[in-house]
Each structure stands twice: as C-alpha cells, then as structure tokens.
Structure 1
Amino acid sequence: MRAPSKENSFLRALSGQTVKPPPIWLMRQAGRYLPEYREVRAKVPSFLDLCRMPELAAEATLQPLRRFDLDAAIVFSDILVVPYALGQKVEFVEGEGPKLEPVRDWDGLKRLQLDGLAEEAAPVYETVERVVAALPENVPLIGFCGAPWTVAAYMVEGAGSKDQAAARTLAYRQPELYQALINLLVESSVRYLEGQVKAGARVLQIFDSWAGSLAEDEFQRWCVDPTWRIVTAVKAAAPGVPIIGFPRGAGPKAEHYARATHVDALGCGTSLPLGYIRSHLQSLLPVQGNLDPLLLVAGGAELDRRVDQILAMLGDGPFVFNLGHGIQPDTPVEHVARLVARVKKS
C-alpha cells in the first residue's frame, strides 16, 4: 500500500477546492479487469457470495490501490445488497447478470421487511471496517447505495433492462404501490448508508444508473424526491460526510438534480458535454467524471487526447477525475495505469 500524503486531495475537491492535479478514482475500480481479482472471485461460488465474505471483499477493495495511485477506495459490494437484505430473492448468473424474483404487486411488497436489514448488511459493514483498518489514515473509503428508482427498477423488472419498461409501466399504473416500494427503499438506504459511515466510510455515493429513462415529472417524483430524502436524513446523522449523487443519463435535468437533492458533488455520465458541465454544474458544486469507459478499453492517443480535454475543461474548478460509468471487464490494466499517470502529471 502506498504511503500516505499529508492531506487527501479527494476530500479537498469535494469540499469545493480546486486541486491540481485533480484527485482520481474509478467506478468499479475493483473488478474483473484485474487478474488478482479474478483469482479471488474463483474462490467463491457466486458474486453475491463474494460481497458477503468480508475478508475477500476487503481484499478486492484494496487491490486497485496497490496497483495505481488512486485517491480513494470504494467498498466492494453491489447496489442489490439492499433488496437481498430486505428478503427479495437475488442471484447473479454468470454471463447474464443479476436475476431477482420480481416485485409487481402488494403481496410481493409485503414479503419485504426492514427487520433483517442490519443482520444481512453486517458483512458489508465488516468489509468497511477491515478496509479502513488497512488503508493509510488519510485515504478515504467510499460507501454507497443504489438510488431508490434504480434499485426499484431492478426489483420490478427482475433483472437489468434497456428501458426499465416494466418498472415505468407499474409506476404509471399503480403509483401508490410504487411509492410504497420507493418509501421502503428510502428508509433502508438511509439505514444502510448510516451503517457504512459508522463502520468507517468517509464519503458516500448514490448510484442512480437508470435516471435517464424517466420523463421530467417522473424524474422529480422517483429520482429527485427520494434522493433528497436520503441525503437529508444521512446528513442529519453524519453531517461531515460528503455525498456524491450520480444521476446517470439525466442530461439537462442534472442541473435540477444538483440543486434539489442537496448532494455535495455530482457524478457526470459520459454523454454530458464538458461545456455544460463546466457552465451549469461545476458553478454549483464539485463535479466528477466523465471519461467514456470504452475509451479506456481502446487506449492509445485518443485516450490521451480526451483525458487532456477533460482536464483542460474541468481542472480549473472543484473536480474529481473519474469515468462516466464503471470500468469494463475487458479493460487492459496498462490502460488504467496510463490514465492515472497522465492525470497525476497534469
């Protein structure tokens, strides 16, 4: 593990400072692109099993920081830990992704319970404790959860989907049912994030991966309002912990999200133009992003060009370099090393 520096640049950037070079961490930085991760993954039957084994999950969390000069770790887990902890059947099928028993009626919703959350989430809290104990004191660990809209979409669809059609249709047809599901996820997410903070997480991120599928009024109801409720509750319990919101695909609605949710920083997806990020978002709060993960797969001169462009556009304000979504499994390790080195030399 690298030696600690005097002050963490990531925390400084999240506080609104302009830091040069900017801090860098990468969404899904612990994962299948690393050969050492694949060795760990081979020891357990399923991905969910790995998330629930603190010793191995902590090892996976720490692996990328041993290779790269990253400014933060993010706990190795998954956003679907919460529905699993509520009692929904969740499994990860190799080559297909998550599969869940769909929740599409009141009977399905009633089978979900908050009572078991603390016990079922305990392995994640232990992972956080193990990682914090192993990290240099000034290198923060990021805890996270999925936003209620995105998690609910998985719960209703029973899997990932391109357009979240089943979830959106249910929300239109039975808004009371959908609101009850969202309310349950708000409460469970607050408890889950607070548990991670108590275990040692110093930054939190809320992933709303499917925010871009919502129309304007639905975006307010299912994305902005629940996120604001989570942020308000967590900040009351842990006022010194910055929260990053990531409404992937929100487009121009991202500005309203930034203003209305009271997050401390905004994760920006690949599709957001740099000029828009600088003029409409970075003027409000620190921003994070937004390199295309596929460009990191491709590498070469085009990767260098885009990295330099992002740095030129966003580096004169509060900024955290990251991807516009998670690292792809087929990303060459040497490309990640090249990216980190280029950002650090800027």
Structure 2
Amino acid sequence: MNTADGANTTKTDKAAEKRRLLRVLAGERLWPPPVWMMRQAGRYLPEYRATRAQAGSFLDLCYAPELATEVTLQPIRRFGFDAAILFSDILVVPDALGQKVWFVEGEGPRLDPIDLAKPDLEPHRLLTRLEPVIETVSRIRAELPDETTLLGFCGAPWTLLTYMIAGRGTPDQMPARRAALTDPSGVDRLVDMLVDASIAYLAAQLRAGADAVQIFDTWAGVLDDAGFRRFVIEPTRRIVEGVRAQIPGARIIGFPKGAGGHLPAFVAETGVDAVGIDWQASLDFIRDNVQPLVPVQGNLDPLHMVTGGEMLDAAIDRILDRLGEGRLIFNLGHGITPDGSIENVARMVARVRGAGGR
C-alpha cells in the first residue's frame, strides 16, 4: 500500500469512528442512542414534494441519481439524523429483473403478475439496470457529514415475491401464501433468484459507500411457524452469508415486521448485526429476549408523528426507559406516513437527544 493509499484509509477510518449508529452496530451501547426514521425522506416534507414533481414518475425519481441524492439529504439537513438511508424503493429489484413495475398515485405499486412456471426474468441485467441507484449511493456518501451513517437496503425475498405474485399489495398476502402451498417448487425458484439478486445488490451498495444495509421484510408477520423459517429466516441467512462472503464484516440490519416471538430465532439463525422492531412488539419481551443478542432498532408507533403532544413524549420515554440500558437505535416501528408532522419529528429528535444521562 503506497503512502497516499494509507493516508486515505486512515482518513476514512477516522470519519467512520464518528458515526454513532455504526458504533452501535459494532456492539457499543451509546447514550443518548442514535436516531433516524424509516421513510424519513418522503411526502411529509415539502422539499421532497417539490423534488418529486421535477422527476416525473416515482420510479424516475429512484433512478435519477442527482434527485435521489437530494431527497436523501433533505431530512439530514432538517433534523440532523444520525443516519441517512438511500432513497429508493424495494421494487427496483423486480423492475431490474425485467418485471414491469409502476406506481399509481394514491394507490401504490402495480406489477405485471409473474407466471411462476415461466417467470421470464433476466437476472443478468440486474446490476446494469441498478447502476443509477449505485451511483446515488456514491453521491450521497460524498455529500454526507462524516458523522452520518449511510444505510443502503433491499426488500427481503418473501416481501418482494408477495408483490411479484399478486401484482400489488394485498391485506393478507393470500396470493403468495396460496402459491407457496400449491406451487412450492416455483416459489422456491423465485426465492433463490431473489436471494442471489439481493446479495449482488447489497454488496454493490456497500462497495459504493454504504456503511451498513437493511433488509426490509414488511410481510414477515403473515406467515406461520414453518413459513417463517422457510421464507424469512433461511433466505435472510443466505443473504447475510452471501454479502459477507463478498464484503467481510458487512454490517446488516434485519427488519422482519410482525415477527413477534420469532425474533430471537431470527437473530440467532440469520447472523444479522441488529434487528428492527415494529411498534406492536412487547418492550419487555424485546428487552429480555432480543436485546441481549443484538442491538435493537425502533419502535415508536408512526401514528405519534401525526398526533404529537404529551402522548408522543410519553411513548418516547417508555422506549428509552425499557430499552435504554441496552444497545438501542431509536426509530419508528415502521415508516412515517405522508400526514406526519415536521414539528413532531423535530420534537422526537429533541426529546431523544435530550434524554438524561444513564
């Protein structure tokens, strides 16, 4: 290694030491805990809505590095969160694989439903199609303050296939659950493809400058015990192992929403560095059974970002009181909704950071 390379490496290492969230992922307990917010770049911000109007469609925004970088940075400028998360969408992966994806305003995503017998997907085109997203990661890292952790992400295979099979979100994910029972080999082939795609995509984000990545499994909670192991634990384990085979020591957060009592097994068997907790989880259960294993992230009900007031303060204090003695990343239990209040977000950040010493 030449002198210039050594100097650059030292500078990078010192910058990373300032990233409080990254330190928690490495095993430290920090007080007050680092704080960020799922969907923190989004429709509750007027500057996001203005940038979104420039882009055209939602997917156009995801694939426009300059604009996607801008909306990623907007909540960092406003609130000084400890982490920025790449602005994109979990469905860029099926889109990059060749399945048609579009978004209907006010209704959400639509996809041409996939034929499991003949899926007509093109895994070889994945990273080529996602080059603009990877460029966005590099741009964000270059513009972020040294102390701000950059998170990349992907959708977990189960959650992705629920959309790919149904062609849209459904309340109970019945189309995907039915397919898992009636065509298990077809579903398994799709899971295998999505595991490989997730490994390639997350590794590319880490190489481009992400400090850590998160795997979102929004629909993990609809599965029974056998289904949870088959479609949540096993694919996540394979992704974690596959990413670390390419990026040794990669920091990975799992978020199996609705996992409940499955969380200890999920943590123990997947190898994730931290786990996201939804707002329905018992704080006592998390403190006693999950937090001793890994740092936990969450779990404020996003509705408090709408209603605010003393109930917001009390909910924040409960989480800090129950989970603050262990390794904690303060966050919502899912994403902020478009009717969330900027004032309530600022109030949350101030209260977390103003918490007394422990």
Q: CA deviation at 1:241?
A: 2.3
In structure 2, the residue matched to 1:77 is: 88
How many Å separate the matches in 2 of 1:203 and 1:174?
Answer: 35
Residues 40/238 of structure 1: CA separation in 2 closer, same or farther (3 Å cut): same
Query: Does the 8 A contact of 1:104 with 1:170 survive in 2?
Result: no
How many Å separate the matches in 2 of 1:8 and 1:83?
Answer: 32
2:177 aligned counterpart, secondary structure: helix
1:282 aligned counterpart, secondary structure: coil
How many Å separate the matches in 1 of 2:46 and 2:185?
Answer: 46
Query: Does the 8 A contact of 2:72 with 2:85 survive in 1?
Result: yes
Which of 333, 337, 348 in structure 2 is aligned with 1:328?
Answer: 337
In structure 1, the residue matched to 2:42 is: 31
Unaligned stretches of 5+ in structure 2? Answer: 1-14
In structure 1, the residue matched to 2:112 is: 101
Query: Does the 8 A contact of 1:186 with 1:229 survive in 2?
Result: yes
- Does 1:293 find its partner at 2:302? yes
2:71 aligned counterpart, secondary structure: helix
How many Å separate the matches in 2 of 1:112 and 1:299?
Answer: 45
Amino acid of the residue matched to residue 182 of structure 2?
R
In structure 2, the residue matched to 1:15 is: 26
Q: CA deviation at 1:238?
A: 1.3
How many Å separate the matches in 2 of 1:61 and 1:290?
Answer: 22
How many Å separate the matches in 2 of 1:6 and 1:195?
Answer: 22
Which of 319, 337, 343 in structure 2 is aligned with 1:310?
Answer: 319
How many Å separate the matches in 1 of 2:197 and 2:236?
Answer: 12
In structure 1, the residue matched to 2:209 is: 200
How many Å separate the matches in 1 of 2:161 and 2:20?
Answer: 34
In structure 1, the residue matched to 2:348 is: 339
Query: Does the 8 A contact of 1:17 with 1:317 survive in 2?
Result: no
How many Å separate the matches in 1 of 2:170 and 2:271?
Answer: 29
Which of 51, 66, 71 in structure 2 is aligned with 1:60?
Answer: 71
Amino acid of the residue matched to residue 247 of structure 2?
A
Per-residue CA distance 1:213-264 (angstroms, 9 max, x = gap):
0010011011110010000011121123210000000110111111111101
In structure 2, the residue matched to 1:216 is: 225
- Does 1:48 find its partner at 2:59? yes
Q: CA deviation at 1:116?
A: 0.7
Q: CA deviation at 1:113?
A: 1.1
In structure 2, the residue matched to 1:236 is: 245
In structure 1, the residue matched to 2:158 is: 149
Q: Return the TM-score normalized by structure 2.
A: 0.94
1:169 aligned counterpart, secondary structure: helix
Which of 243, 259, 275 in structure 2 is aligned with 1:250?
Answer: 259
1:293 aligned counterpart, secondary structure: coil
Unaligned stretches of 5+ in structure 1? Answer: none
Query: Does the 8 A contact of 1:18 with 1:318 survive in 2?
Result: yes
Q: CA deviation at 1:140?
A: 1.8
Per-residue CA distance 1:280-300 (angstroms, 9 max, x = gap):
000111100000001121100
How many Å separate the matches in 2 of 1:15 and 1:213?
Answer: 31
How many Å separate the matches in 2 of 1:118 and 1:242?
Answer: 21
Mapping for residues 81-230 of structure 1, pairs under 5 Å: 81-107=92-118, 109=119, 111-230=120-239
* Alpha-carbon RMSD: 1.1
- Does 1:265 find its partner at 2:271? no
Amino acid of the residue matched to residue 211 of structure 2?
R
Per-residue CA distance 1:276-333 (angstroms, 9 max, x = gap):
1100000111100000001121100000001011001111111100000001100010
Q: CA deviation at 1:143?
A: 0.4
Stretches of 4+ aligned residues off by more than 4 angstroms: none
Q: CA deviation at 1:139?
A: 1.7
Q: CA deviation at 1:6?
A: 6.4
1:67 aligned counterpart, secondary structure: helix
Query: Does the 8 A contact of 2:17 with 2:23 survive in 1?
Result: no
Amino acid of the residue matched to residue 115 of structure 1?
H
How many Å separate the matches in 1 of 2:28 and 2:124?
Answer: 41
- The alignment-based identity, stated in percent, is 53
Query: Does the 8 A contact of 1:28 with 1:326 survive in 2?
Result: yes
2:163 aligned counterpart, secondary structure: helix
Aligned length: 341
